[in-house]
Each structure stands twice: as C-alpha cells, then as structure tokens.
C-alpha cells in the first residue's frame, strides 16, 4: 500500500512541476520600452527562441531559483514563478527593430527567463561563462546586455 502512495505522490509532483517548467513557453508581447524598441514580440519554444522573426536555437541549462530571479529581476521570492537559464548564440551584428542589437558589439551567449503571473522578464548576457545570479556578482558584471519585459 505504501508503494502505491509513493507512486501516486511522485506522479502528482511530476504533473505539478511540468507547467512550472513550461511557463515561459509561447508568444509574448513587448511590455517595456526596451522590448518595444529592440525585440518586439518574443516566442519561446523547447528548442528555439524567435525574436523579431529571427529564430535562434536554445538549450535549457537549468531551472532558475527564486532567489536568483529576485537578484536579477527584483522578483518577489514569495510569489509563484518560474524560469530558466538558456544557452544560445546571437551574433553581435544581428540587427532587430530600428536596427538595434541585443548586446552592442558582443555576441549574446545566455538568456534568462522568469515568469510571474502574465509577465515574462528576460535578460541577455554575453561571455563564455554562465552568469552568476547574486546581488554582488550582478552589480559587478560587464556581461549583462539588457533586461526586457513582456506580457500576455
């Protein structure tokens, strides 16, 4: 009987965690002035992100923790949310809306997402190493390209 309860609990936990992992998936409209001026709509799928009708392959590296989202996006750690760190490659010379780039003269190597409610926060980073999401590290980084807000 305990084995059945254990299996039931495991299935329930897995089913509840799947929507949290997929929260950032889908089409999002720009909500911040930087998103309106640079990226326009953004669409996130399992293996790609689409920005201004350009597709870029992505790979999920890991799930973002609430404390990390709080440091990066000033998110409420007590509010439900979810997001991920992704690896991608956007060339420095790729132009988007109004001939803007995502990271000036640097290639974008990392994308970080966080969803709370109907709002998606996205940050892009350059650099070969994954970004560190602490207040001190973020205050001293030169790899952060920009932060954008989207809504549904």
For the entire predicted model, the pTM comes to 0.85
Residue-wise pLDDT tens digits, 10-46: 444 444 444 444 499 999 999 999 999 999 999 999 9
* E-state strands within the chain: 26-30, 42-44, 48-51, 54-63, 84-90, 108-116, 119-125, 144-151
Distance CA 152, CA 134 (A): 28
**Overall domain count for the chain:** 1
Judge whether 8 lies within some domain: no
Alpha-carbon dihedral angle through residues 75, 34, 87, 76, given to the nearest 10 degrees: 0
Joined together, the tokens standing for residue 119 give 């709002």
Contact 96, 52 (CB under 8 A): yes
Q: What is the mean pLDDT of the chain?
A: 89
**How many C-beta atoms surround the C-beta of residue 7 within 10 A?**
10
Q: Give residue 141's domain range.
A: 23-151
Asked whether residue 138 is domain-assigned, the answer is: yes
Q: What's the pLDDT at 134?
A: 96
Q: Is residue 1 part of a domain?
A: no
Position 89 pLDDT exceeds 90: yes
């Amino acid at each position: 009987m305990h084995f059945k309860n254990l299996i039931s609990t495991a299935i329930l936990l897995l089913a509840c965690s799947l929507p949290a992992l997929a929260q950032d998936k889908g089409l999002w409209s720009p909500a911040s002035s930087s998103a309106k001026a640079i990226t326009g709509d953004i669409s996130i799928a399992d293996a790609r992100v689409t920005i201004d009708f350009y597709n870029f392959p992505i790979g999920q590296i890991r799930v973002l923790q609430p404390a990390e989202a709080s440091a990066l996006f000033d998110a409420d750690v007590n509010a439900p949310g979810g997001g991920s760190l992704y690896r991608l490659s956007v060339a420095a010379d790729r132009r988007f809306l109004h001939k803007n780039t995502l990271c000036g003269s640097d290639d974008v190597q990392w994308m970080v997402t966080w969803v709370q409610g109907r709002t998606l926060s996205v940050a892009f980073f350059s650099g070969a190493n994954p970004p560190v999401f602490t207040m001190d590290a973020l205050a001293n980084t030169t790899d952060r390209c920009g932060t954008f807000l989207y809504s549904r």
